[in-house]
Structure 1
Amino acid sequence: MKEDNDFVISGPTPYEPLCEDTLGQVFGKIFMENAPDHKIMVNAHNGKVLTTQKLVDDSCQLAQALRVHGCSPQTTICIGSENNLEFFIPIFASIFSGTIMVPLNVNYTDQELKHTLNITKPKIAFCSKRVTQRYLKLKKEMSFLETIIVIDTDDVIEGTISMNEFVRSKMNGRTVTPHNFLPFDGDSMDSVAFVLCSSGTTGLPKGVMLTHQNIVTRLLQSRYPAYLSNHDVVLGLMPFFHSYGLFFALTSIFNRHLTVMMDRFEEDFFLKSIQDYKVSVVRLAPPLAIFLAKNPKVNKYDLSCVAEVFCAGAPLSGKTEVQLKKRLNLKAIFQAYGCTEGTLALTIMNKDVYRPGSCGKVITYMQCKVRDPETGRSLGPYEIGELCFKGPTVMKGYYMNPQATKESFTSDGWLRTGDLGYYDDEQFFYIVDRLKELIKYNGYQVAPAELEAILVHHPKVFEAGVIGLPDEVAGELPIAFVVLKEGQKISEKELQAYVANKVSSQKKLRGGIIFVPSIPKNPSGKILRKELKKKLHEYKKVLQSKL
């Protein structure tokens, strides 16, 4: 296939040149500039505070302990935890020591967690006490997992060691400080800082390798004047193990903003926390944007402190965006588009421009072309194609998966996002659909093939096809077309419950199940999902009666 670059859209001229320092060196300088008592994060549930002094002292000590333990820049370690104040101590210890950190979804089933651990083979698992027993169980099956360190308690849990005790046992009374500790100083372009999990169309997660330069560039992007917030109290509700929550927390620390942290969403607590802590910047996914735009409970609280809303993870309708901006009297509302493979944001709305429904323009340092997936030809304004990107935030590749890495790039080196969209005459971008078959539920990727494999293992099911049912709140709901074996009967609720017991919450068949006589397939046996989407129209009245 012949590729061309006749239509390439570049982001604005960078505000500052790219930095060759590692992530640890960059943050080391930031922390030295901050006052020791500067508040970095507050736990909205109990009011406890994390300061610069606490974070930098504990993470430097832990980084040195990891080095004494034998961890090198080739060592993978992981963290499994809900949002808490201790989460970023192992994160920064890994950044400073140069190890490869793998944040893991605490909502993974045992099967999903086991698969991800087998991909990355971490030597050490940091975890919260809430999930410790799961890691202890898996450790028995995985010889590579040597040590489990509990981050949020000093209580003795058999088979584990607390984070404080681990440091004490390795340091033997010695101390390091930000003034005498030397952060990892390797090749920032080549050295991997994080491996983040991203679902594939096969249903098996892949590990996205992000380098120190990828993330340093993301930090520099956040300081570009057109994107940088003038408000400094930020909501930290998005999960820190997810790229969205992780990178926005890092950029908040980088820009000296205070993050008001929550570990779960509860309507009244969410609204009261914004009110009481005077949160000025709210970062969320479309379902919560819709909640703020439409839910009557919002009127019970004083949210006049909110100046900006940042929405990403899935497209937000222009209509909802207008409602939200008007209801909260916002100074700015940002939509952005991105992916884990691009270190999150790839296009973003300028805070001084309002264009409802658009995910903005190409972000600084980056280039984009809209590519015809059939011919490889780059496309002009208003022509729909696959969004492809080049630049310093594009991933190094998939961990231990060269074939998947090769398939994710064009022959001339552009990252293929699998998302279909277009740009207008002013180079504002709009997302239309996904070339990939992934379902996007509440910002999470759900692989149809995984759900299909579970369904066909039911003794009464002959075959199944899964697609996304469009939904205003969640983006898409997984819905299944099912062919039963001859003479068999089972209810929709029974089959939904069967799947729900085997998957994470986001993968449940919330869209329902439609029983059909056959599943459309091509001659090679591949399910024709486009045909299934057409069938949705035939069952529209049935679906509306259920939802």
Structure 2
Amino acid sequence: MGHLFDDFGRYGQLTALIDGTTGRKLTYTELQRAIVRVGSALWRLGMRKGDVVTLFSENKPEFLIIYLSFAAIGAVISCVSPTYKPGELVNALTHAKAKMLVASTATIEVAKQAAIDAKLNQQDIIVLGEAAGFRPYSALLQDDGKCFPENLDWDPREDLVALPFSSGTTGLPKGVMLSHYNLVANVEQTRTQDVMNYAAGEDVLIGVLPWFHIYGQTCIALAGLKSGVSLVSMPQFSPELFVKIVKEYKVTKLHIAPPIMLFLAQHPLVNGDHFSSVQFIVTAAAPCAANTMTEVRNRLDIPQIRQGYGLTESSPVTHVNPSKNYRYDTVGLAVPNTEFKVVELTTGESLERGSEGEVCVRGPQVMKGYLGNEKATRETIKDGWLLTGDLGFADADGHLIITDRIKELIKYKGMQVAPAELESLLVTHPAVADSAVIGAPDERAGELPRAYVVLKPNLHVSEDELQKFIAERVAPHKQLQGGIEFRKEIPKSAAGKILRRILKDELLADKTG
């Protein structure tokens, strides 16, 4: 990640990071110095190029400092949601073969529990703050920087820098292998004049999207720091803090997800005076209704509101509406050096513009593959094309319109939930014989996980008991907020595949009928 690091000296005394909860600031010079010291300390601790670290924290300046420190010494950073429960964290640690774990004071108790099952020693855990018995981040800052490796043998196209997780349609989330080349390419693709066009010393961004998510990492954190902007961190979304930061620090460009768009359209706390500094809003991670964007535009008088599109597997950005002639009904045009096509579902043949099929993308930002899963990689990348699993079509102007998803992932506020993961967990309850999970449409969240459960003969469990059973084992975004329905059987094909479309159709019919 020297591509970013080399510019920090040039930006010097410009403000790089601001803690949105305390107001503490770091200049680019201070950021660069911290990265050298922390990187040197990590090298002394035995971290080497290719070693994996799991980063388990909410947004804060230290998150980005330690992220960049690991990247600078050639380590691979696997960021996970700070809402993970111990079992989920164990899966992430073991799948990535993490050598080290970085947690915050807010997540250290979960980290402590997971570390035992993942066979991590206490000295392999760094805490961003203070926690008795664990190595504090502050101790790394005391290093003299003399062990910082200056001349690593880099192969940007092959060497990994990030290992985020993407939920598949079956089994547990898969590790997405992103190289330095992938992330640098996407940073530059998003910084172009017609996309983000950040200006050093002028633009202020807010880290309202989680930095563990690739959207927040690439579009806000990495592209922002490469451009010399000021980044204001938020540990989690709070209406009052969000509005306060936008107004106080005069945020210029907003990257958000649809639930925050809905907040901007409806919440009484929001008014145009608070958002007068905002030049544009980009919404992505899930579809956003055109009427919601229109409401925000009319309410706040934002000059531009644009929609974008991408996947974890593409670092993530592949499409964004241009700064001129943007439209609310599309996810925009392909970013520079990116191709896309729409193919017929059964034959894979390319379709003409206007015809609906599976959207495929190709470009330097497309992942190397899934960690330890060659079969899934082969099924997802064919002849250099990434099969997105989304249905859509290209219009006459080259804009991409997404119409549906082929994959059965549930998208809750832009975060992916694999039905199979929840189904597997439900049947571990002693009273449950079978289950199916779908996404129930929801105006605010996009979709809510909803379960259909078959009980074993002569056994009983209430919906509240099952809700609690799941809540104790998964992050909040995976909980069954769409409800639980008890059934005599789950609709399945002759081959035993759950027919989720039948369940979705029934749910929609009940709502409209």
Check whether the contact 2:90–2:117 (CA below 8 A) recurs between aligned residues: no
| Aligned with residue 157 of structure 1, among 132, 137, 142 | 132
Check whether the contact 2:306–2:328 (CA below 8 A) recurs between aligned residues: no
In structure 2, the residue matched to 1:11 is none
Q: Give yes or no for the alignment of 1:516 onto 2:487.
A: yes
Task: Give the letter aligned to residue 90 of structure 1.
Answer: I
Give CA-to-partner distance per residue, 1:405-437, whole Å, 9 cap, x none. Answer: 112112x23111111111111011111111111
Any gaps of 5 or more consecutive residues in structure 2? none
In structure 2, the residue matched to 1:369 is 341
Q: Give yes or no for the alignment of 1:439 onto 2:414.
A: no
In structure 2, the residue matched to 1:378 is 350
Give CA-to-partner distance per residue, 1:296-342, whole Å, 9 cap, x none. Answer: 22139632122211111101011111111121111111211001100
Distance verdict in 2 for CA 1:99–1:324, change over 3 Å: same
Overall identity of the aligned pairs, in %:
36
Q: For 1:89 and 1:145, how far apart are their aligned partners in 2?
A: 23
Check whether the contact 1:349–1:361 (CA below 8 A) recurs between aligned residues: yes
Instruction: Report the more deviating stretch, 295-304 or 524-533.
Output: 295-304
Q: For 1:137 and 1:500, how far apart are their aligned partners in 2?
A: 17
Task: Give the letter aligned to residue 164 of structure 1.
Answer: S
1:51-450 → structure 2 map (5 Å cutoff): 51-143=27-119, 147-153=123-129, 155=130, 157-158=132-133, 160-166=134-140, 168=142, 173=144, 175=146, 182=150, 184-229=152-197, 232-247=203-218, 248-299=220-271, 302-410=274-382, 412-450=383-421
Q: How far 1:165 moved relative to its partner?
A: 2.4
SS of the equivalent of 1:298 reads coil
| Aligned with residue 476 of structure 2, among 502, 505, 508 | 505
Q: How far 1:286 moved relative to its partner?
A: 0.2
SS of the equivalent of 2:181 reads helix
Task: Give the letter aligned to residue 244 of structure 1.
Answer: Y
Q: Give yes or no for the alignment of 1:48 onto 2:24.
A: yes
Compare relative contact order (CA 8 Å, sep 6+) and give the higher one, 1 or 2: 1
Task: Give the letter aligned to residue 471 of structure 1.
Answer: D
Q: For 1:343 and 1:103, how far apart are their aligned partners in 2?
A: 13
SS of the equivalent of 2:328 reads coil
Q: For 2:126 and 2:498, how far apart are their aligned partners in 1?
A: 44
SS of the equivalent of 1:215 reads helix
SS of the equivalent of 1:297 reads coil
Q: How far 1:244 moved relative to its partner?
A: 1.4
Task: Give the letter aligned to residue 496 of structure 1.
Answer: Q
In structure 2, the residue matched to 1:31 is 8
Distance verdict in 2 for CA 1:497–1:156, change over 3 Å: closer
Distance verdict in 2 for CA 1:103–1:184, change over 3 Å: farther
Q: For 1:205 and 1:330, how far apart are their aligned partners in 2?
A: 37
Q: For 1:239 and 1:302, how far apart are their aligned partners in 2?
A: 22
Task: Give the letter aligned to residue 161 of structure 2.
Answer: A
Any gaps of 5 or more consecutive residues in structure 1? 1-22, 543-547
Q: How far 1:538 moved relative to its partner?
A: 4.1
Check whether the contact 1:203–1:446 (CA below 8 A) recurs between aligned residues: no
SS of the equivalent of 1:458 reads coil
Check whether the contact 2:40–2:145 (CA below 8 A) recurs between aligned residues: no
Q: How far 1:225 moved relative to its partner?
A: 1.1
Distance verdict in 2 for CA 1:167–1:264, change over 3 Å: closer
Task: Give the letter aligned to residue 29 of structure 1.
Answer: D
Distance verdict in 2 for CA 1:156–1:378, change over 3 Å: closer
Task: Give the letter aligned to residue 117 of structure 2.
Answer: E
SS of the equivalent of 2:310 reads strand
Q: How far 1:162 moved relative to its partner?
A: 1.7
Q: How far 1:100 moved relative to its partner?
A: 1.2
Check whether the contact 2:408–2:418 (CA below 8 A) recurs between aligned residues: yes
Check whether the contact 2:79–2:212 (CA below 8 A) recurs between aligned residues: yes
Check whether the contact 2:127–2:135 (CA below 8 A) recurs between aligned residues: no
Q: For 1:140 and 1:310, how far apart are their aligned partners in 2?
A: 41
Give CA-to-partner distance per residue, 1:35-68, whole Å, 9 cap, x none. Answer: 2x21112112111112212211111122223333
Q: For 2:317 and 2:416, how far apart are their aligned partners in 1?
A: 16
Give CA-to-partner distance per residue, 1:266-298, whole Å, 9 cap, x none. Answer: 222221221122112121110010110122221
